Structure 1
């Protein structure tokens, strides 16, 4: 009997020291509440990129408020609150989830844009839903759209990342699909 009391005391102290916000009900039932993509990857043993593929591809079914340094490709962005996207996605992760990166020729230079090809998206440029534009991807040249774009894509094989920002853009022609799968996306 005495050993059970000592064990209970050790568990109580360990829980209070090691885990700040874990409700007792979840603790006793063995449930873990994760607040970031990296935590899910650590708890499940999955690769962090696989977790991002799942979160991106199921975003319409599971509306998740996101935050963090790499949440620009998510539709529902919280203001400092929500699930933390703390893993930097790769181009391969985005393509696997249904977000295609296309290289287009703008007025001056080549630009990379994100096309959302997930079934629930209706083939729009990413983030048009967040800004209430509800606009389909244009098929006519020189039609201005609001989209997630990388205005200065890396020109060589350096370890540069793709930095996407929201901007108004018009393009003249599609140059092709961006296929550097290992490139990191911000």
Structure 2
């Protein structure tokens, strides 16, 4: 019986269709960042920008990051040689993407949690503002959007206290840049050219 099952799996495997494919682009510490990860975070970043005008993540990376991610995702080629040329030609965008994913990775380790109440407020805001519905999952939020919100919570906890007396975000940008620079050195990375 087990042999027949194994034989069926082997035969089925020959005729199996590829449902979806992905390409690994960057390794950060012990995790890989794939094309799909970037695509999902493009969707998430766009939703966060729509939901919260004062998002520290959006202010740090700037709204132009949405266009950079969109361009990266929509123009990403298929073949290996084209991908290699494309990635080498997009060094500036890849650096921002690398920093973004390193920040996400770091904030995950900080164990910030998105409370059910905050998740509900985000769900309501998403539906009310008619933006970012792609981040919703059943009665909660998609996991990769929760990760982005954890980064937002981390930045607010670490740098929000420095914004006193109606100071602008630019007053704390140098502090965040030092943090990101340190993080970039601390967290090793490798591109999959």
Which structure features the higher share of helix residues? Answer: 2
TM more than 0.5: no
TM-score of the aligned structures, taking structure 2 as reference length: 0.23
Larger radius of gyration: 1
Which structure features the higher share of strand residues? Answer: 1
Report which structure shows greater RCO (CA 8 Å, sep ≥6).
2
